[in-house]
Amino acid sequence: MTAKKILIVEDEQAIREMTAFHLSRAGYEVFEAQDCREARALLADNRPDLALIDWMLPDMSGLELTRTLKRDKEFDDLAIIMVTARADERDKVSGLEGGADDYITKPFSPRELVARIRAVLRRAANSTDEVVSAGVLELDGAGHRVSSSGQEIKLGPTEYRLLHFLMTHAERVYSRTQLLDRVWGANVYVEERTVDVHIRRLRKALTAASADDYIQTVRGAGYRFSIRDV
């Protein structure tokens, strides 16, 4: 199991460093940004599981950043905890309405923070239990089963994860590198052609259901799951 990645967006250096210290000690891989611009750059390169975003930031408010991320297809599944110095109930509500998964008020203890992070990450993991359907395919996240018209399609664990990712991110093209990062995890060293091997296996498994065409090769770009144009 690779360490979960957390991005800390906080302009006050002392607080940022202290938070990073405690989260590293709790076993997380930590990235630090002092403003939204840095946060965007780190988000694009490192794909964190959770972002801890301070409300008051120099270039854009943490609430604005949260809203922007939740509207972005690429980051809408990123878990977000808003941090604020204000214990105002209205702030809490607007933070949550902006898309944050939870809210923590400064000053907080490292213990409380870690507990909140664990709870949010656990909830995020459970959301993969949902049933996703597209075209003739139905994927049951809780049972880890894929079927077509009630007929089960047998898939290996990697093919399952790959299909789950593609079905939940349909109609978008992902490069081999992006798929490695999102399906295999960024810290795992695998060659890019591994992706092609698993795509081939997945297509083969989907042939019986005539759903192999859903996995489309986009020349020079990567792969896309689509139920259109097939």
The footprint of Ca ion (CB under 5 A) covers: 11, 54, 56
Q: Using CB atoms, what's the residue nearest to Ca ion?
A: 56
Query: Please, what's the largest Cα pairwise distance for the chain?
Result: 58
Cβ nearer to Ca ion, comparing 64 with 212: 64
Q: How far is the CB of 39 from Ca ion (least distance, A)?
A: 12
Q: How far is the CB of 11 from Ca ion (least distance, A)?
A: 5
Cβ nearer to Ca ion, comparing 54 with 102: 54
Q: How far is the CB of 12 from Ca ion (least distance, A)?
A: 5
Q: State the DSSP string of 36-84.
A: HHHHHHHHHHH--SEEEEES--SSS-HHHHHHHHHHSTTTTT-EEEEEE
Pairing of strands 151-153, 137-140: unpaired
Cα distances from 205 to residues 125, 152, 154, 156, 163, in angstroms, run 26, 11, 7, 9, 11
Q: How far is the CB of 105 from Ca ion (least distance, A)?
A: 13
Q: Which helix (H) or strand (E) holds 91?
A: helix 89-97
Cβ nearer to Ca ion, comparing 11 with 140: 11
Q: How far is the CB of 63 from Ca ion (least distance, A)?
A: 12
**Residue 159 token pair:** 């093919």
Cβ nearer to Ca ion, comparing 56 with 170: 56
Q: Look at the block and give the residue holding tokens 């081999």.
A: 176
Radius of gyration of the chain from its Cα atoms, rounded to whole angstroms: 20
Cβ nearer to Ca ion, comparing 84 with 178: 84
